[in-house]
Structure 1
Amino acid sequence: MRLADFIVQHVDRIVDEWEQFAKIITPDDSLDRMTLRDHARSILLAAARDMRTAQTVSEQAAKAKGEGPEKTPSLDQAAASHGELRHNVGFDLVQMTSEFRHLRACVIRLWVNSLDAPDLQYFQDMIRFNEAIDEALAESTAAYAEQVNRSRDIFLAILGHDLRAPLQAVSMSTEMLIRKGQLDADAQMYAQGIKSSARHMAVMVSDLLELVRSRLGNSLPIEPAPMDLATAAQAALDEASAGQPDCDAQLTVEGDTQGVWDRARLDQLLQNLIGNALQHGENKRPITLCISGVDHQVTLTMHNHGAPIPPDALGTIFDPLVRSASEELAGSSTSLGLGLFIVKQVVDAHQGTIEVNSNETDGTTFSVVLPRVSRVVS
């Protein structure tokens, strides 16, 4: 009997073995029979239908490399649903993939035992069955991994949201202590340190929430309103200088710097660009922020001297969770590697562009070009 016919005729027997194996490895002894057997029948019958479909030698070679012209919709749908459900009921990835290993071995064993004599076609059947199971395994694993990522992102979103309230309480309480003016010099210094750290943590939480928002498929929301970019830049530099009194930050302004943008988002952009320049800039050399407006656009450039960005890092400089080699070696940075990612998100939300140039002679310059009027993209 051909393997596809064998699977269809004995599908219930095969699924019984699937259920018994799933029962052994399940992390939850209370799972019912339907959950343990979920999608097994659909996967097997879809695999049998795929095996009965004609396939050329070139198509087989391409499929072996994961480059087949088309997937099997019913097989992929059942496998993806299986991966999602196994994640939801507590299976880990090793347990889930072991089900497919057992399924493959079970079907081959039962079928081979039923054969009277080997035939060349039977070997071809085995290849086709293995291809179908590999496709199901790949789809199921991808769906499982997506569920893991989504669960992690939702957890981070909840964590970031819940951290905002206690951080705000710390900031407000510290501000009240400082304003009372009855602290001695040491206590005043400690309070200022708490205030600065709380502000830094708030920025990190905000960056984390923006990362999660983007990973969950939501674009960065903006609320454009008339504003002056030069005024915002000066305020951001003043705040940075208050946190690092030794820094030498210079602002130059040319032309009309008025526009319609989201002030809060541009504050994020400025804080991250300035913070990045201060962190990586050479000590005792100034960082320079230039704002210039011409025609229908305004350009912002942030420059610092110091070690250049390695050429092989320029392509991923705006990717999330990317930190420089020096930061990794030092192990002392509190950065999440999200600052420049947030900058790019803000620029994209305003339909602008951003570029970076970095070399030993000229230092590092980030150049942002914003249309004078940004519109909300629905």
Structure 2
Amino acid sequence: MRLPDFITQQVDRIVDEWEQFARTITPAAENMDRMALRDHARAILLAAARDMTKPQTASEQLAKAKGEGPEKTPSLDQAGASHGELRHTVGFDLVQMSSEFRHLRACVIRLWVASLTSPDLAYFQDMIRFNEAIDEALAESTAAYAEQMNHSRDIFLAILGHDLRVPLQAVSMSTEMLMRKTTLEGDALACAVNIKRGARHMAVMVSELLELVRSRLGKRLPIEAGPMDLADVVHAAIAEACAGNPECDPTVRIEGDTQGVWDAGRVAQLLQNLIGNALQHGSNKRDVTVTLIGETDAVRLMVHNFGVPIPGDAIGTIFDPLVRRADEELGAPSTSLGLGLFIVKEVVDAHAGTIEVSSNEAEGTLFTVVLPRKT
């Protein structure tokens, strides 16, 4: 039996072996179901079989072997690219993803050779064509994986820079205010100067760190949940936000039990970004309200401000990374990378919570986060 026919006839058997091999790739495959493990294997195999039946000249074959052939197989490329993207999403590294194709190639050849009774010269040509098809799928998978990896790295670097600037700004501005409004002498003055100098050095180190981690990959937001009181984090987040905005004076309202099991650091990120967003876009820095309401199985957090409403067509993308509001683009130059609300959404998702936003001129802008008490 010719190899394309064998692949078409035995595709389910081959995909079963693909699944068994993919299941051994841990820890990424530990929580994957059968459908996720099989992924695009069937589509890749059938597209490869169709490609093998198409006429190909010797010159075309040589060009394809060098990766220079203009002719490609859209269905094979699409399946390969989608596979690379999804394997990146679930946590496979590039070597693990590539090993799936190596195993697929070996599996098909082994099963096919075992089924042959009287091989002829045409069968060797089939093997060459099959290897070409698998190489094309692997190339597309690798390219798509690399693109996703680059995107993740960029997001990671942007989040890192975004988060480190906030505490650095608070330290720098607090030191500046302390030195302006208080007469410092002796050791006190030396300490304040050291703090200011240290903050400057930290900013330089942050830049160097960003260069160091430029090749690192940012994965799904990790959390380390533990018992905590959300009210304590709210007060701390407001204090840090106001350190860099002396005019701010948010109103805090707390009702019911606000204790639960969350990642205190990540929740602090969420609060700092929501409060910072309200202060930045509010018409009055003193007219920001933070409300906590303890419910039966969750705690509801609301941050409200009055100001220029978020346009209706922007609501759907407001949590996307690297998106800035129109008033930021038109206003004074800003160091914002458009990541604050993206980080908020990531933290909420990591805690299996929900977030909603409503915005109009009459009622203002309201972000509502619901965090289950147990993540």
The two structures share one fold, judged by TM-score above 0.5: yes
Distance 1:140 1:321 in 2: 29
**Structure 1 match to 2:336:** 335
**Structure 2 match to 1:147:** 146
The answer on whether the counterparts of 2:258 and 2:292 sit within 8 Å (CA) in structure 1 is: yes
Determine helix, strand or coil for the equivalent of 2:324.
Answer: coil
Determine helix, strand or coil for the equivalent of 1:289.
Answer: strand
The answer on whether the counterparts of 1:164 and 1:202 sit within 8 Å (CA) in structure 2 is: no
* Pairwise CA distance, 1:367: 0.3
* Pairwise CA distance, 1:325: 0.9
Q: How does 1:253-332 map to 2 (within 5 A)?
A: 253-283=254-284, 285-332=286-333
Q: How does 1:130-145 map to 2 (within 5 A)?
A: 144=143
**Structure 1 match to 2:374:** 373
The answer on whether the counterparts of 2:76 and 2:137 sit within 8 Å (CA) in structure 1 is: no
The answer on whether the counterparts of 2:294 and 2:300 sit within 8 Å (CA) in structure 1 is: yes
The alpha-carbon distance between structure 1 residues 234 and 313, as it changes in their structure 2 partners (threshold 3 A), is same
The answer on whether the counterparts of 2:174 and 2:244 sit within 8 Å (CA) in structure 1 is: no
The alpha-carbon distance between structure 1 residues 15 and 284, as it changes in their structure 2 partners (threshold 3 A), is closer
Q: How does 1:95-174 map to 2 (within 5 A)?
A: 144=143, 146-151=145-150, 153-154=152-153
Determine helix, strand or coil for the equivalent of 2:246.
Answer: coil
The answer on whether the counterparts of 2:250 and 2:286 sit within 8 Å (CA) in structure 1 is: no
**Structure 2 match to 1:228:** 229
TM-score, normalised on structure 1?
A: 0.55
The answer on whether the counterparts of 1:300 and 1:367 sit within 8 Å (CA) in structure 2 is: yes
Distance 1:170 1:346 in 2: 22
Distance 1:276 1:201 in 2: 26
The alpha-carbon distance between structure 1 residues 312 and 196, as it changes in their structure 2 partners (threshold 3 A), is farther
The answer on whether the counterparts of 1:316 and 1:322 sit within 8 Å (CA) in structure 2 is: yes
**Structure 2 match to 1:38:** 66
The alpha-carbon distance between structure 1 residues 188 and 293, as it changes in their structure 2 partners (threshold 3 A), is same
Tell me the amino acid that sits aligned with residue 235 of structure 1: A
Determine helix, strand or coil for the equivalent of 1:298.
Answer: strand
How big is the alpha-carbon RMSD for the aligned residues of Structure 1 and Structure 2? Answer: 5.6
**Structure 2 match to 1:346:** 347
The answer on whether the counterparts of 1:175 and 1:195 sit within 8 Å (CA) in structure 2 is: no
Distance 2:204 2:303 in 1: 23
* Pairwise CA distance, 1:182: 3.6
Distance 1:163 1:317 in 2: 17
**Structure 2 match to 1:241:** 242
Question: Displaced runs of 4+ in structure 1, greater than 6 A?
Answer: 136-142, 158-180, 183-207
Determine helix, strand or coil for the equivalent of 1:265.
Answer: helix
The superposition leaves residues 313-354 of structure 1 with CA deviations (integer Å, 9 ceiling, x where unpaired) of 000111111101111122512111111011011111111110
Equivalenced residues, count:
270
* Pairwise CA distance, 1:286: 1.1
Q: How does 1:67-78 map to 2 (within 5 A)?
A: 71-72=75-76
* Pairwise CA distance, 1:191: 8.3
Structure (1 or 2) with the larger CA radius of gyration: 1
Tell me the amino acid that sits aligned with residue 147 of structure 1: A
The superposition leaves residues 186-229 of structure 1 with CA deviations (integer Å, 9 ceiling, x where unpaired) of 9999988888899999999999x99x99xx68321111111110
Tell me the amino acid that sits aligned with residue 293 of structure 1: G
Where structure 1 has 5 or more consecutive residues not aligned to the other structure, the ranges are 20-36, 51-65, 81-135
The answer on whether the counterparts of 1:204 and 1:336 sit within 8 Å (CA) in structure 2 is: no
Where structure 2 has 5 or more consecutive residues not aligned to the other structure, the ranges are 1-51, 85-134
The superposition leaves residues 3-23 of structure 1 with CA deviations (integer Å, 9 ceiling, x where unpaired) of x99954x32x3455x49xxxx
TM-score, normalised on structure 2?
A: 0.55
The answer on whether the counterparts of 2:345 and 2:355 sit within 8 Å (CA) in structure 1 is: yes
